[in-house]
Amino acid sequence: MVTTLQSKPPAAAAPEPWTTSAVTSGVAKTLAQHHRTVVGFLFGFFLVLLLYTVLSGQVGSEDAIVRAVTQPSTPAVHTDQRGRTTSPPASPTSMSRNATQAVHGNGHKKDASEKTGEDTKDSGHGTDKNNQEGSKFDNLEGKNNTEQSSEPAVNDASDRIEEELIQHDIDQAGTRNKTNHKLGTPRKPICDLSDPRYDVCEITGDARAMGTNRTVLYVPPVGERAGGDGHEWSIRDQSRKYLEYISKVTVRSLNASASRAAPACTSRHAVPAVVFAMNGLTSNPWHDFSDVLIPLFITARSFEGEVQFLVTDLQPWFVDKYRLILANLSRYDVVDFNQDGGVRCYPHVVVGLRSHRDLGIDPSRAPRNYTMLDFRLYVREIYSLPPAGVDIPFKAAAAAGAGVATGEQRIRPRAMLINRGRTRKFVNFPEIAAAVEAAGFEVIPIEPHRGLSIEEFSRVVDSCDVLMGAHGAGLTNFFFLRTNAVMLQVVPWGHMEHPSMVFYGGPAREMRLRDVEYSIAAEESTLYDKYGKDHPVIRDPESIHRQGWQFGMRYYWLEQDIKLNVTRFAPTLHQVLQMLRE
């Protein structure tokens, strides 16, 4: 309205050709002034009206916002027919606190973090409906399963991965708490499918674990059953969610009718439980730690041993090999969940293992801000190795007055030289060992194997100042080194510097070890003799990697061995020696 007035100013009076007198001119000026006065009045009137309208709308909006914000925080109190005061049903937002609250039979809630010390957060919900067949409890959900199945399922694996990655990006943008649950639906258990590495479900309350059909049920309290639909998730209970070797575990939140028909407990436990798988890529030490032991540390360490492990696809060799770590993380017997025929009831169950990255911990996401240094010191304590304040053996011996051994012969730093048994092995191992010794080290040659006792081997590694080997699982023994010891990694041919740093170099530095890397030349690779200098495997490794990971794996991880040029390698050994003497 104001714009209209401004866009059409009053037209000036046209000159009157029939008069030129002063009187007529004065009348014209008077009329023009009158018009301007009227227009100014109208403009001011509409401006005041517009300002009033805007201010009234803002006041109304602010009142509405205040009412919307303050009303949920002051719920109405009602009185029933018997004079008892009651509160309205809990909102879905308040129910989402299940991740950090334990619900007891008397209706009171206790913060689970007070008992476990675990930092937990509300996370997005997801439902995997592709794996609902084969469970003995399909009939417990009644019509609810039929209603759920009406939602289109994602059958193509690539589409499913893309959907979940997109959902993860959305969650990271600040919409993590928005879910597809209906209003009034219980928010328990929380199953978080948003992470690209792992899926995890966490139940606080009445959790019932049944190993024979790999199922964990959540039976909600009576007050939370009304109007709620049951939900089901099916996840791989390890740190690699897309690894096909791992069978799935079903997690169900029961509705009212299904809760009444829930199987009775055959045993009750006062401590939490963690359900996880031991199979997958295990039997390789790097994967043992990266896929199971570090994720288990992240997931269960904050329970301070007051937790029981329910293991799917239990591997007896794994339990035996890492028994000290498992026994320290849990004071209770490991349960072979696949063979367990009872109904175990727990107040808190975690299904799956949290994982941040390959062989790594993100302190910002870990309970109590755990780090890789914390994990290394934890492992060393378990195996009764010297505490963090003890220097590397070379300097500790010198400080103790053992600087001179015999005559003028000074004590030498000790280097463990690891030779792989199959791929990426040193084909001139004796020559390399002699070169390391000639550089001024005491050499401990070793070829690790699966049956090696960790208890004994950890003490040998601890006695060394340097752990040296080609990029591979044998370097995982750096957990047993002391602070400021050196990991010397020989990087194979084929642009392997990045994975070498990601898988070993980075973690070593996070654990306060010193990382030194020696990248071999093309002539030091057996691929050079096999394919020749003009083959793309030698001439253009990047072209091999562009064809897909399987091609890089074939040539540079599986086919390649190493013939180290000891003359070219000598300056690196000298560098390590100087680092140890500093």
- pLDDT, tens digit, for every residue of 156-197? 333 343 334 333 333 433 333 333 333 334 455 689 999 999
DSSP secondary-structure letter at 269? -
How many percent of the chain have pLDDT more than 70?
65
73-77, 369-373, 566-570: lowest mean pLDDT where? Answer: 73-77
- Give the tens place of pLDDT for each residue, 114-124: 333 333 333 33
Q: Region 227-253: what's the mean pLDDT?
A: 89
- Where along the chain do the CATH 3.40.50 domains lie? 393-581
The pLDDT score that the predictor gives to residue 66 is: 30
Confidence of residue 223 (pLDDT cuts 50, 70, 90): confident
> Greatest CA separation found in the chain?
134
Instruction: Tell me the average pLDDT of the chain.
Output: 76
Determine the average pLDDT of the residues in 288-302.
97
Q: How confident is the model at residue 330 (pLDDT cuts 50, 70, 90)?
A: very high
pLDDT tens figures, 389-419: 899 999 998 887 754 444 445 689 999 999 9
Give the pLDDT confidence score for residue 214 in this predicted structure: 95
Element at 347 (helix H, strand E): strand 344-351
Position with higher pLDDT, 118 vs 562: 562
pLDDT of residue 189: 63
pLDDT at 408: 43
- How many helices (DSSP H) and strands (DSSP E) are in the chain? 22, 21
Predicted pLDDT at 573: 98
Read off the pLDDT band of 448 (50, 70, 90). confident
Specify the pLDDT at position 582.
Answer: 86
Helix (H, G, I), strand (E, B) or coil at 357: strand
pLDDT at 140 over 80: no
Identify the pLDDT of residue 210: 96
pLDDT at 32 over 60: no
What integer pLDDT is reported at residue 400 of this predicted model? 79
pLDDT winner (highest mean) among 75-79, 160-164, 510-514: 510-514
Give the DSSP H/E element, type plus range, for residue 515.
strand 514-519
CA 289, 290, 293 angle in degrees (round to 5)?
45
Region 89-113 average pLDDT: 33
pLDDT computed for residue 52 by the predictor = 57
pLDDT (mean) for 119-138: 35
Whether pLDDT at 263 is above 70: yes
Give residue 329's pLDDT.
98
Q: How confident is the model at residue 45, as a pLDDT?
A: 65
Asked if pLDDT for residue 425 goes beyond 60, the answer is yes
- DSSP-derived secondary structure for 89-141: PPPHHHHGGGGGEEEPTTS-EEEHHHHH-------------TT-TT-TTGGGG
pLDDT of residue 383: 97
Residue 153 has pLDDT above 80, yes or no: no
Q: What are phi and psi of 432, to 5 degrees?
A: -65, -45
Q: Topology of domain 393-581, per CATH?
A: Rossmann fold (3.40.50)
**Cβ atoms of 275 and 251 closer than 8 Å:** no
Q: Are 556 and 392 in contact (CB under 8 A)?
A: no
pLDDT at 99: 32
Continuous segment of H or E residues that includes residue 232: strand 231-236
- Higher pLDDT, residue 77 or 538: 538
SS3 383: coil
pLDDT of 387 reads 94
| Beta strands per DSSP E along 409-464 | 409-410, 414-418, 442-446
pLDDT of 112 above 80? no
Rounded-to-integer distance, Cα 230 and Cα 108, Å: 23
- The fraction of the chain above a pLDDT of 90, given in percent, is 58
What pLDDT score does 61 carry? 40
Query: Is residue 130 pLDDT above 70, yes or no?
Result: no
Q: What is the pLDDT at residue 392?
A: 95
Distance CA 216, CA 380 (A): 35
Predicted pLDDT at 229: 72
